[in-house]
Amino acid sequence: MVQDKGNKIAKYILIGLGALFIIVMLVIPLVTVLSYSLREGWKVFYDAISDPYAIDALKLTLLATVVTLIVNTFFGIFASWGLTKFKFKGKQIITTLIDIPFSISPVIAGLVFILVFGRIGWASPFLSAHHLKIVFAVPGIILATIFVTFPFVSRELIPLMQSQGNEEEEAAALMGASWLRIYRKITLPHIKWGLLYGVILCTARAMGEFGAVSVVSGHLRGKTNTLPLHVEILFNEFHLTAAFAVSSILVVMAIIILVLRNIVEVRVKKEE
Amino acid sequence: MASLINRVKSKNNNIIPGFGLSMGITISMLSLIVLIPLASVLITMGGMTFHEFWANVTDKMLVSAYKVSLTCAFTAAVINGVFGVILAWILTRYDFPGRRVLDGFIELPFALPTAVAGIALTTLYSDTGWIGSIFAKVGLQISYTTIGITIAMVFIGIPFVVRSIQPVLEKLDRQCEDAAMILGASRTRIFFKVIFPEIFPAALSGFGLAFARSIGEYGSVVFIAGNIPYKTQIVPLLIMGKLEQFNYAAATSIALVMIVFAFVVLFAINIIQSQISKRAQG
Amino acid sequence: MKKVSISAKLKKVLIVGLSAVLMVGAFAGCGSNDKKTADKEPSETKNKVLEPVEITNVSYDPTRELYENYNKIFTEYWKNETGQDVTITQSHGGSGKQARSVLEGNEADVVTLALEQDVNELVTGGLIKDGWIKEFPKDSAPYTSTIVFLVRKDNPKGIKDWDDIVKDGVEIITPDPKTSGGARWNFLAAWGFALDKFSGDEAKAQDFLKSLYGNVTVLDSGARGSTTTFVENGQGDVLLAWENEAFLSIKEHPEDFEIVTPSISILAQPSVAIVDEVADERGTQEVAKGYLDYLYSDDAQRLEADNYYRPSNEDILKEYGDTFDLDLRLVNIEDDFGGWAKATDKFFADGAIFDQIYKQ
């Protein structure tokens, strides 16, 4: 009983600390963004988000996010499998190389694609001979987004699958189950939360990515502007309120994703 | 059954299918998306002699920027490590009103364009802002100092740590804890003896990622940093400075130093992490 | 020598490895091309004489409103003159960044940037022909600006001139000339004043700049960042700003700030140029030339003045005597600093004067 009481105190202290942290570090900055975006009234807010250029930018952001998500999830599933279920030399090096995009300054992440595909890049003669345009066009934006979010899904899965161990998969393999079957029946149920978090982190980050995309975009209005870039342009144009209004679209999109996640979570937990 | 598996395991590790396929996909995608573009960093520096390279990356102003970036990123990652564990813990183990809402806020730093986050944080923590004015009363300036830089880094790093630990806690077997409890172990003891070893690899990996991301971060940090040379300049800002002079070689050489450093840190973390999980599995 | 051969080898390997990426790129590229032609179709039916034409203007901040309006009057003018429909795509960002993006393959038909030096980099890169500066009147600068002080309402620190801002206890906000091309004008304006004050003694001028930057509390990476720091976050007593940007801040917060014009400042000449490589390839030389020429027309000059740029046509500038302080003494980059190339080497290159004043 005494211990129980202690537990309760510990519980409330921890919850209090966590909630305080989230409020100070995350909620208040968000409230700042929203209050800025509405400080000149709803009209300015509405005009900012219904601007045709803002809508073009939203479409491009959605396109880049969806493609990125597909590519990175595909990669994450295979990479985490290969890197946790087998022993081989150089495994740690590959794992670390996958993490590298995290640590590269976004400025450089964009620049590397310029140095490959740009007018000064080494692939440029080939590209111009075939009239291909990658950077300063939509493919470049997608590539840069994939690059910066590349490790997200695999990063979530690897530690989880490592701590899981291989016994169950080995048993199933001995019984002759195919890879797909093992993955669906044994591995996936263990890692589904990790996968879900990975996918959501990846989506959120892909939507909000600014630095790298800014370098490869060229900022052509209505063509290669993503939402975060549109925000930057508005900011630079002395339209601070409109800039914050447009960023609140991104916040709303993030909230939609989180609501979806919660629905999935509740459903899956019910099934269990 | 277990003995059978062990016997097979010692003979041949590759009974699990999918090695060729998964590693093929992993390595080719890794090369195309990450390694080949990164190699152009080396190509761009091709014309530089080692001497020039060294002089460039050990410039006095740059060395002080390394210090600022590293100290702030490390501090931020430690703070994130501690709060990340607390947050992951309360979000998975306790049920309380508003838990889902709290949970939902974790990813938001990612969705906000970094520049917007930077501007909002700067406003908030400047001596006229909501939070900054409170600290200004006791004479503590946050925006435009290294404290401000650290706060921006905490902001962008927190999702990594929480979301790394959370799935591990979700699936952690509660039976061990319950057993320990019945045996009369105290909560703190259980946490440090039973739970902590389990989540340590995940926490470490979250720490490493938050750290690595903070070092390279530009958009959100550049507004809150005062950017005063030798005091509050971060490394990515100096890279921008080189680019503004159209000096690609100098910019990429600084980038290379950053990449190598990040690689070493992440590599070390990966090694530790796999050692721990190997030991855990006996 | 050995190094070169290694990187050459590496290149070969990479080109081979690239083919797969290209396939993906080609795939996506085709997709975007389709979209382009689809977008064009509606306007195509209108005109039979001349094919409609599309040009891209890569510009800097904050010229968006200026060019948004200018593009309207130009499209109308060009339609009347030639019967041709023209669509203009705008791009805005930091001047140096924008120049770099054009150098790296962002296909601009015309550039309208903040610094002559940024255009010169495109000459070095082979995109623009030498002698561009004489292609349009007034050194290819249809409008100009200058550096002024933005201070808080009623000027509590009594700031009148450059002398006042180097005093102890005055906090200055200005962007970093290393990362912001536009900020180089601020530095040079102060240098112009100091050189005049100390009758040409450069050592003293450098000390003056040292105490000026000693008073800088936040050195943002760009001009817009500095404005936010000063205006929104209440930092500092004086903001060194482009005149047109200072006017924009006043427009946004008329109650809170005022502009102080120093005794000496600098003639900031944003440069415009045709990007020959792109315009030749696309066959847009003519419309690009028309686009930049029309910036000197009376209508356009007034529009520029309405957007707080000083029109280069002196008669029209006089019409706006109420807005702009016309008595200000202006030094200029050509006569007083020997051109941008020299000024960059002397002040802003690594280890040059700007780095020296921060040396510990």
The count of other CB atoms within 10 Å of the CB of residue C355 is 17
In the predicted model, is pLDDT for residue B149 greater than 90?
yes
pLDDT score at B265: 87
Q: Answer whether A128's CB lies under 8 Å from B11's CB.
A: no
Q: Is the dihedral of CA A225, A228, A234, A238 positive or negative?
A: negative
Nearest by CB: B237 against C18, C97, C221: C221
**What pLDDT is attached to residue C320?**
94
What average pLDDT does this structure show over B112-122?
Answer: 84
- Say yes or no: A22 and A126 in one domain: no
What order of strands is seen across the sheet that includes strand C271-274?
Answer: C86-91, C53-59, C110-113, C271-274
A139 and A258, same structural domain?
A: yes
Q: Helix C298-306 crosses helix C64-82 at what angle (to 10 degrees)?
A: 170
Instruction: Answer for the pair B37, A113: CB distance below 8 angstroms, yes or no.
Output: yes
- Chain C positions touching A237 (Cβ under 8 A) are 61-62, 64-65, 92
| B281: confidence class by pLDDT, cuts 50, 70, 90 | low
Interface chains of chain B (3 or more CB pairs under 8 Å): A, C
A166 and A125 assigned to the same domain:
yes
Contacts of B181 (CB under 8 A, 6+ apart): B190
Nearest 10 degrees: Cα torsion A225, A25, C237, C60: -10
Cα–Cα dist B174/B92, whole Å: 12
A79 and A199, same domain (yes or no): yes
Report the pLDDT value the prediction gives residue C19, as an integer from 0 to 100.
44
pLDDT at position B275 over 60: yes
Interface residue ranges in chain C relative to chain B, Cβ cutoff 8 Å = 3-4, 6-7, 10-11, 14, 17-18, 20-21, 96-97, 100, 103, 121, 176, 178-181, 216-221, 225, 228-229, 232-235, 344, 348-350, 355, 358-360
Q: Which of A226-235, B6-15, C30-39 has the highest mean pLDDT?
A: A226-235
Distance from CA of B237 to the nearest CA of A (A): 9
Q: How confident is residue C142, by pLDDT bands cut at 50, 70 and 90?
A: very high
Distances (CA, A) of C54 to A20, A22, C69: 54, 49, 17
Domains and their CATH numbers in chain C: 46-143+270-315 (3.40.190.10), 146-267+328-358 (3.40.190.10)
B15–A78: do the CB atoms touch at under 8 Å? no
Distance of CA B119 to the CA centre of its chain: 22
Residues in chain B within 8 Å Cβ distance of C178: 241, 244-245
Q: List strand residue ranges (DSSP E) for C14-122, in order.
A: 53-59, 86-91, 110-113
Q: What is the CATH number of the domain that holds A236?
A: 1.10.3720.10
pLDDT score of A128: 84
| CB distance C211 to C146 below 8 Å | no
| Coil, helix or strand at residue A248 | helix
Q: Considering CB atoms only, which of A15, A204, A244 is closest to B111?
A: A204
C-chain CB neighbours of A120 within 8 Å are 103-105, 125
**A208–chain C nearest CA distance, Å:** 18
| N-term to C-term CA, chain B | 17
CB contact under 8 A, B121 and A98: no
Q: What is d(CA C164, CA C179) in angstroms, rounded to the nearest whole number?
A: 26
What is the tens place of the pLDDT at every residue in B49-103?
888 899 889 988 899 999 999 999 999 999 999 999 999 989 888 888 888 888 8
Verify that A164 and A210 share a domain, yes or no.
Answer: yes
Coil/strand/helix, residue C352? coil
A113 and A193 part of one domain = yes
A55: distance to nearest CA of chain C, Å?
16
> Which of B26, B87, B92 is the best substitution to test chain A (most A C-beta atoms within 10 A)?
B26
Alpha-carbon gap, residue C267 to C146, rounded angstroms: 5
Q: Do both A29 and A74 map to the same domain?
A: no
Residues of B in contact with C357 (CB under 8 A): none
- Say yes or no: A20 contacts chain B, CB-CB below 8 A: no
CB contact under 8 A, B91 and A18: yes
Count the Cβ atoms, other than its own, within 10 Å of residue A64. 23
The nearest alpha carbon in chain C to B227 belongs to: C219
pLDDT greater than 50 at residue B268:
yes
Tens of pLDDT, residues C294-332: 999 999 999 999 999 999 999 999 999 999 999 899 999
B-chain residue closest to C236, CA distance: B127
Mean pLDDT of the region B205-225: 88
Q: Is the pLDDT of residue B11 over 50?
A: no
How many structural domains are present in chain A?
A: 2
What is the pLDDT, as a whole number, of residue C62? 75
Q: What is the mean pLDDT of residues A88-101?
A: 87
- Residue A159: CB partners within 8 Å, gap ≥ 6? B164, B168, B201, B202, B205, B273, B277
Q: What pTM was estimated for this model as a whole?
A: 0.83
Contacts for C124 with CB less than 8 Å, ≥ 6 apart: none
- The ranges assigned to domains in chain B are 49-280
CB contact under 8 A, B158 and A11: no
pLDDT at A5: 66
Mean pLDDT score of chain A, rounded to an integer? 86
| Residue C67: pLDDT band with limits 50, 70, 90 | very high
Same domain, A89 and A200: yes
Dihedral sign, Cα of residue C178, residue C183, residue C187, residue C192: positive
Distance from CA of A125 to the nearest CA of C (A): 11
Give tens-digit pLDDT for B127-137: 888 899 999 99
Percentage with pLDDT > 70 across chain A: 97
Contact C28/A at CB under 8 A: yes
Inter-chain touch C233–B229, beta carbons under 8 Å: no
Angle between helices B114-125 and C223-231 (to 10 degrees): 30
The percent of residues above 70 in pLDDT, for chain C, comes to 86
Alpha helices for A23-137 (secondary structure H): 28-37, 41-50, 52-85, 91-103, 106-117, 124-129
Task: Please name the member of C14, C220, C221 whose beta carbon is closest to the beta carbon of B36.
Answer: C14
pLDDT of residue C9: 53
- CB contact, 8 Å: C65 with chain A? yes
CA distance C37 to chain A (A): 13
Could you tell me if B87 lies within 8 Å of chain A, comparing CB atoms? yes
Residues 6+ apart with CB under 8 A from B83: A17, A18, A21, B158, B161
Gap from C324 CA to chain B (nearest CA, Å): 31
Q: Would you mind telling me the total number of residues written for chain C in this entry? A: 360
Alpha carbon C321 to chain centroid distance?
Answer: 24
Q: Establish if B39 touches chain C: CB-CB under 8 angstroms.
A: yes
Domain extent at residue A6: 1-37
Contact C226, C179 (CB under 8 A): no
User: Which of C62, C119, B221 lies closest to A233, judged by CA?
Assistant: C62
Q: What is the rounded average pLDDT of the residues C132-145?
A: 94
Window A:121-180, CB contacts with B under 8 Å: 121-122, 143, 146-147, 150-151, 155-156, 158-160, 162-167, 169-171, 173-174, 178-179
Min distance B220 CA to chain C CA atoms (Å): 12
Please indicate, yes or no, whether residues A94 and A153 belong to a single structural domain of this protein: yes
Residue of C nearest to A223 (CA): C89
Report domain B49-280's class.
mainly alpha
Q: Do C99 and C326 meet the contact criterion of CB atoms below 8 Å apart?
A: no
Q: Phi and psi (nearest 5°) for C219?
A: -110, 80
Which of A185, A153, A156 lies closest to A169, judged by CA?
A185
